[in-house]
């Protein structure tokens, strides 16, 4: 295919798009709605990921040591945990710090503070807060501690089993959200492709006489298909641009008004920071939907 032929195909596609008028408008409208759905799914996925990450960040396992455990012994356990690939962060809280935090939490409870003073010594043991890279890895971390017999002497308790229900629910929620998101995207993509296919088929049907003439004069299948594919790509590009323009004020409004409600997630900031990804996703989706739908519409329904 030479440059002149390619130029004619592109020019023919642009003219076909302009001549179609109301049909082209309907195609752009349908594709814009489709791409907006794709965009909203991107935003929804980002919000869910942020929310789940925030919840996940608050979940940890605390290891409480007996008051007789020495600091070197506790630090040795901390260092062992830090070498595990499942562990993200290990935070050490000494006995003195635990006592200070306890006093601060109960600053308004004079009865508790008085009882603490009467003891005459620090009744709290040191602790380690372990945060895993994935909520599903806490069980293996606890198992690692339980397998070391020397830990049984200095460890008082581990609150994993109290948090196990929350951790299991969080893990299930993450997996369910990922699966549901993939299914929703697939369903919307299928429905949108069907609607766009029908709309573009209507545009091609209105040009059936022109196609018949082109076939009579010996035009190749590629030469006949190309203008319609180009028209579909133009519709996809135009729809993507419209979607990106519409999303700007929507993201700004939601980002300003719903940041607190979304736990600090600012949709407008996300839109600006991830604009290249959003741009490529919407433009790519528009081009693929428009081009592929046009290709198959010509092939299946006009018997080229």
State the average pLDDT over residues 237-243: 91
Same domain, 150 and 270: no
C-alpha triplet 282, 273, 173: angle, nearest 5° = 75
Q: Under DSSP, is residue 298 helix (H, G, I), strand (E, B) or coil?
A: helix
Same domain, 264 and 174: yes
> Considering only 39-43, 73-77, 179-183, which range has the smallest mean pLDDT?
179-183
Indicate if the pLDDT at residue 198 is higher than 50.
Answer: yes
Question: Rounded CA gap, 123 and 99, in Å?
Answer: 8
Same domain, 200 and 248: yes
pLDDT of residue 275: 92
Length of the chain in terms of residues written: 304
Q: Under DSSP, is residue 156 helix (H, G, I), strand (E, B) or coil?
A: strand
pTM over 0.85: no
> Considering only 118-122, 218-222, 255-259, which range has the smallest mean pLDDT?
218-222
For residue 110, give its domain range: 60-161
Same domain, 99 and 146: yes
Question: Rounded CA gap, 64 and 66, in Å?
Answer: 7
Last residue of a domain, one of 142, 161, 180: 161
Indicate if the pLDDT at residue 87 is higher than 70.
Answer: yes
pLDDT of residue 247: 92
pLDDT of residue 159: 80
Same domain, 7 and 111: no
Identify which has the larger pLDDT, 15 or 247. 247
Nearest to 93 by CA among 64, 61, 67: 64
Instruction: Please provide the distance, in angstroms rounded to a whole number, between the alpha carbons at the two ends of the chain.
Output: 19
Same domain, 49 and 80: no
Last residue of a domain, one of 132, 161, 190: 161
State the average pLDDT over residues 18-28: 73
State the average pLDDT over residues 13-30: 72
Tokens of 56: 């996940």
State the average pLDDT over residues 70-98: 87
Question: Rounded CA gap, 234 and 216, in Å?
Answer: 27
Same domain, 7 and 112: no
Same domain, 206 and 141: no
Same domain, 209 and 280: yes
The CATH number for 76's domain is 3.30.70.3040
State the average pLDDT over residues 295-302: 66
Please, are residues 290 and 234 in contact by the beta-carbon 8 Å criterion?
yes
Indicate if the pLDDT at residue 1 is higher than 60.
Answer: no
Indicate if the pLDDT at residue 300 is higher than 80.
Answer: no
> Considering only 11-25, 76-90, 180-194, which range has the smallest mean pLDDT?
11-25
Give the C-alpha distances (Å, rounded to integers) separating 45 from 23, 39, 48, 159, 248: 33, 10, 5, 32, 18
Nearest to 61 by CA among 47, 77, 73: 77
Same domain, 69 and 29: no
Please, are residues 36 and 283 in contact by the beta-carbon 8 Å criterion?
no
pLDDT of residue 277: 93
State the average pLDDT over residues 3-17: 65
Indicate if the pLDDT at residue 302 is higher than 60.
Answer: no
Identify which has the larger pLDDT, 169 or 123. 123
Last residue of a domain, one of 133, 161, 189: 161
Q: Under DSSP, is residue 138 helix (H, G, I), strand (E, B) or coil?
A: helix
Instruction: Tell me the average pLDDT of the chain.
Output: 78
State the average pLDDT over residues 296-303: 64
Same domain, 10 and 48: yes
pLDDT tens-digit readout, 254-290: 887 777 777 778 888 899 999 999 999 999 988 888 8
Question: Structurally, how many domains does the chain consist of?
Answer: 2
pLDDT of residue 14: 67
pLDDT tens-digit readout, 131-166: 888 777 888 888 888 776 566 778 888 887 666 676
Stated as kind and residue range, the H or E segment containing 67 is: none
Confidence of residue 203 (pLDDT cuts 50, 70, 90): low
Same domain, 205 and 106: no
pLDDT of residue 304: 47
DSSP string computed for 186-225: HHHHHHHHHHHHHHHHHHHHTTHHHHHHHHHTT--HHHHH
């Amino acid at each position: 295919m030479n440059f002149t032929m390619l130029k004619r195909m592109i020019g023919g596609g642009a003219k076909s798009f302009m001549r179609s008028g109301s049909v082209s408008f309907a195609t752009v409208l349908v594709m814009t709605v489709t791409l907006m759905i794709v965009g909203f799914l991107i935003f929804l996925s980002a919000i869910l990921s942020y929310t789940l990450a925030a919840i996940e960040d608050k979940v940890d396992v605390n290891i409480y040591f007996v008051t007789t455990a020495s600091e070197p012994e506790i630090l040795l356990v901390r260092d062992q945990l830090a070498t595990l690939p499942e562990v993200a962060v290990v935070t050490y809280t000494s006995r003195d710090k635990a006592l200070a935090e306890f006093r601060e939490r109960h600053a308004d409870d004079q009865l508790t503070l008085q009882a603490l003073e009467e003891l005459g010594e620090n009744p709290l043991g040191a602790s380690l807060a372990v945060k895993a890279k994935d909520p599903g890895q806490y069980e293996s971390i606890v198992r690692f501690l339980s397998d070391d017999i020397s830990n049984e002497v200095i460890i008082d308790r581990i609150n994993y089993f109290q948090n196990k229900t929350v951790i299991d629910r969080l893990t299930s929620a993450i997996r369910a959200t990922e699966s549901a998101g993939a299914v929703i995207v697939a369903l919307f993509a299928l429905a949108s492709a069907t609607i766009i296919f029908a709309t573009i088929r209507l545009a091609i049907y209105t040009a059936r006489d022109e196609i018949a003439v082109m076939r009579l004069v010996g035009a190749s299948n590629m030469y006949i298909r190309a203008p319609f594919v180009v028209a579909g790509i133009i519709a996809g590009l135009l729809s993507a641009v419209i979607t990106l323009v519409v999303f700007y004020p929507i993201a700004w409004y939601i980002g300003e008004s719903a940041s607190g409600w979304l736990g600090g997630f600012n949709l407008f900031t996300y839109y600006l920071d991830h604009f290249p990804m959003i741009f490529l996703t919407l433009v790519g989706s528009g081009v693929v939907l428009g081009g592929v739908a046009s290709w198959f519409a010509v092939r299946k329904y006009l018997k080229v």
